[in-house]
Amino acid sequence: GKKIKEGINIAIIGRPNVGKSSLMNALLNEERVVVSDVAGTTRDSIDSILKYHDEEYILIDTAGMRKKGKVFESVEKYSLFRSLKAIDRSDICLVVINAEEGIKEHDKHIAGYAIERGKGLIFVVNKWDTVKDTTIPEFEKLMRAEFQFATYAPIVFLSALTKKRIHTLMPTILKVGENIKREIPTSILNDV
């Protein structure tokens, strides 16, 4: 049967405490969208639907997931496992990076996995308002050096909490979404 869901699935991924929930809330509030919670196909996530320019986007919230039963070695490891599951369900991945903490191995790991799986990728540098001694071009240079395997991925600088520059994100998502649609041959869609 046909499994293609309407809308583009967006996974908001990143290490614990980088501001994934704030980003999700900022997106949903900013766009004054019709939001409806749909129970995720995996029981441990709640997806929200965001309508923007007549397109439906399904936001996969990995922040709200809770561990059940199984004890993982560490929060970090668990969050990685969760991110990978969300990447598998998504079309576009927003890799959220905390500007204060800079780039960590975990960030590279999930970005690399997203690319391996052929997903659209956008880097979101969050908490940008807290950074005083670096300019956007400087930080961008650092990002490009660290993520050499993802030179084409757009980087968006914003602060989810203060909503600064949040308006730059949806247009970027729109662009990446267009590219994705162009890259999927219809023959593949018919086989699913």
Q: Is 17 left (phi over 0), alpha (psi -120 to 50) or beta?
A: left
pLDDT above 80 (res 69) = no
Residue 169 near residue 156, CB atoms below 8 Å: yes
Residue 50 near residue 56, CB atoms below 8 Å: yes
Q: pLDDT by residue (tens digit) across 42-57?
A: 444 567 888 888 888 8
Q: Give the mean model confidence (pLDDT) for residues 3-17.
A: 79
Q: What is the pLDDT of residue 3?
A: 45
Q: What is the pLDDT of residue 147?
A: 96
DSSP structure string for 140-158: HHHHHHHTGGGTTS-EEE-
Q: Which residue has the higher pLDDT, 163 or 39?
A: 163
pLDDT above 60 (res 105) = yes
* pTM: predicted TM-score of the whole model, two decimal places: 0.82
Q: Give the mean model confidence (pLDDT) for residues 93-112.
A: 93
Q: What is the pLDDT of residue 42?
A: 44
